[in-house]
């Protein structure tokens, strides 16, 4: 069996040979974050990768994230080291079911959270991130808006807009698992700590938060707050980066249960193998890619930011 150092050396050689970059989502295991060229949220990573002259992108994240990279960089090879890394939230709605929802509300435009498949993005009018969802919704002239696929994010957005939102019953199982009681328990153990939660969490959890933010927003809040202790209500991979970037602060998971098994499939060996064998190549058919690109681009053209 090879040592860790040998695998790291192979990855470096293969990266050079393939003119490749490695992207790691904020929820990846520490080892993967450490070897990545870029760590971040899915849109940020895909946009930054598109701006490089790399021929190959190894995306250590879940399938919809690799698809986003392929949508923005059709000329590059996008690899997902382990194909099992799907996303249950993205899988909760299909293009066909979204079409049916549209038929029920023909006047309502569709706003789709970036946490969705390429096909669903292609069927949408405009995308949003958790950070800019309210601004995207408010930018539309219609009063009634279809918002998919995450109902918790939808409820959160509904609090800050006068628009009527038609929500889809999708949710992220990793965020859904966190309950009010879990947060109260950790708050009791760390009474000085500020609680930051991702808007994919339930409303009963968001009601307890000092700050509700995307993964990038959580990172900037942690950096900027004077608080020395923080309770983090999102997938626990976030704690690795938070601790690394803020060695003077203490971070506690809101619950040990907040682990996304899909995010944890990628390993150093699989990254090495993906570069060696050029697997698993994520291709989005051109017709779908072009439509999905338009939905993402309409959001970007609003210039309402995507990361707070
Ligand atoms: O798009 C992403 O990276 C996700 C799913 C969440 C976030 O808040 O960054």
For tokens 């409303």, name the residue: 203
For tokens 């998919």, name the residue: 148
**253 found inside a domain:** yes
Give yes or no for residue 44 CB within 6 A of ligand 1. Answer: no
Closest atom, ligand 1, to C-alpha of 234:
8
For the chain, how many structural domains are there in total?
3
Number of residues written out for the chain: 308
Q: How far is the CA of 47 from the centre of ligand 1 (A)?
A: 13
Cβ-Cβ contacts under 8 Å for 9 (sequence gap 6 or more): none
Give yes or no for residue 41 CB within 6 A of ligand 1. Answer: yes
Q: What residues make up the domain containing 81? A: 4-86+263-284
- Closest C-alpha to 64, from 262, 269, 291, 275: 262
Q: Looking at the structure, do residues 199 and 228 belong to the same domain, yes or no?
A: yes
**307 found inside a domain:** no
**132 found inside a domain:** yes
Give yes or no for residue 130 CB within 6 A of ligand 1. Answer: yes
pLDDT per residue over 243-260, tens digit each? 999 999 999 999 999 999
pLDDT per residue over 194-242, tens digit each? 999 999 999 999 999 999 999 999 999 999 999 999 999 999 999 999 9
Q: How far is the CA of 106 from the centre of ligand 1 (A)?
A: 29
For the question of whether the overall pTM of this predicted structure is more than 0.85, the answer is: yes
Give yes or no for residue 174 CB within 6 A of ligand 1. Answer: no
Q: How far is the CA of 13 from the centre of ligand 1 (A)?
A: 30
Please state the φ and ψ torsions of residue 25, each to the nearest 5 degrees. -70, 155
Q: Which two tokens stand for residue 134?
A: 């309210």
Q: Looking at the structure, do residues 275 and 207 belong to the same domain, yes or no?
A: no
Q: Looking at the structure, do residues 298 and 150 belong to the same domain, yes or no?
A: yes
Cα of 189 vs its chain's centroid, Å = 29
Closest atom, ligand 1, to C-alpha of 43:
1
Q: Which two tokens stand for residue 262?
A: 């899909």
**Confidence bin at 308 (pLDDT 50/70/90):** low
Give the C-alpha separation, 61 to 262, whole Å.
8
**CB contact at 8 A, 24 and 46:** no
pLDDT per residue over 77-121, tens digit each? 999 999 999 999 999 999 999 999 999 999 999 999 999 999 999
Q: How far is the CA of 260 from the centre of ligand 1 (A)?
A: 13
Strand partners, 169: none
Q: What is the mean pLDDT of the chain?
A: 97
Please state the φ and ψ torsions of residue 108, each to the nearest 5 degrees. -90, 125
Total Cβ atoms within 10 A of residue 131: 21
Q: Looking at the structure, do residues 23 and 94 belong to the same domain, yes or no?
A: no
User: Best of 152, 214, 306 to mutate for ligand 1, by most ligand atoms within 8 A of CB?
Assistant: 214
The CATH code of the domain that includes 9 is 3.40.50.10800
Specify the residue with its C-alpha closest to ligand 1, atom 5: 115
Q: Looking at the structure, do residues 295 and 157 belong to the same domain, yes or no?
A: yes
Q: Looking at the structure, do residues 150 and 298 belong to the same domain, yes or no?
A: yes
Give the C-alpha separation, 38 to 26, whole Å.
10
Q: Looking at the structure, do residues 296 and 153 belong to the same domain, yes or no?
A: yes
**308 found inside a domain:** no
**249 found inside a domain:** yes
């Amino acid at each position: 069996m090879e040592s860790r150092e040998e695998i790291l050396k192979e990855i470096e050689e293969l990266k050079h040979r393939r003119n490749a970059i490695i992207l790691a989502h904020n929820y990846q295991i520490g080892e993967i974050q450490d070897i990545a060229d870029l760590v971040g949220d899915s849109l940020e990573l895909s946009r930054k990768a598109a701006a490089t002259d790399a021929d190959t992108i190894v995306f250590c994240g879940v399938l919809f994230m690799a698809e986003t990279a392929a949508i923005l960089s059709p000329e590059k090879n996008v690899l997902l080291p382990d194909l099992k890394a799907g996303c249950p939230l993205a899988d909760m709605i299909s293009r066909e079911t979204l079409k049916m929802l549209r038929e029920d509300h023909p006047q309502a435009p569709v706003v789709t959270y970036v946490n969705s498949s390429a096909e669903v993005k292609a069927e949408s009018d405009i995308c949003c991130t958790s950070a800019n969802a309210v601004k995207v919704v408010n930018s539309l002239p219609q009063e009634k808006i279809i918002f998919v696929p995450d109902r918790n994010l939808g409820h959160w957005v509904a609090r800050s807009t006068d628009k009527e939102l038609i929500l889809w019953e999708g949710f992220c199982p990793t965020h859904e698992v966190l309950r009010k009681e879990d947060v109260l328990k950790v708050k009791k153990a760390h009474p000085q700590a500020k609680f930051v939660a991702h808007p994919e969490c339930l409303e009963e959890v968001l009601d307890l938060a000092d700050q509700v933010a995307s993964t990038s927003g959580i990172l900037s809040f942690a950096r900027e707050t004077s608080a020395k202790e923080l309770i983090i209500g999102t997938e626990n991979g976030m704690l690795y980066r938070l601790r690394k970037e803020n060695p003077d602060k203490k971070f506690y998971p809101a619950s040990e249960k907040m682990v996304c098994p899909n995010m944890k499939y990628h390993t150093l060996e699989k990254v090495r193998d993906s570069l060696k064998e050029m697997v698993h190549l994520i291709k989005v058919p051109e017709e779908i890619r072009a439509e999905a690109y338009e939905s993402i681009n309409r959001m970007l053209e609003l210039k309402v930011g995507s990361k707070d």
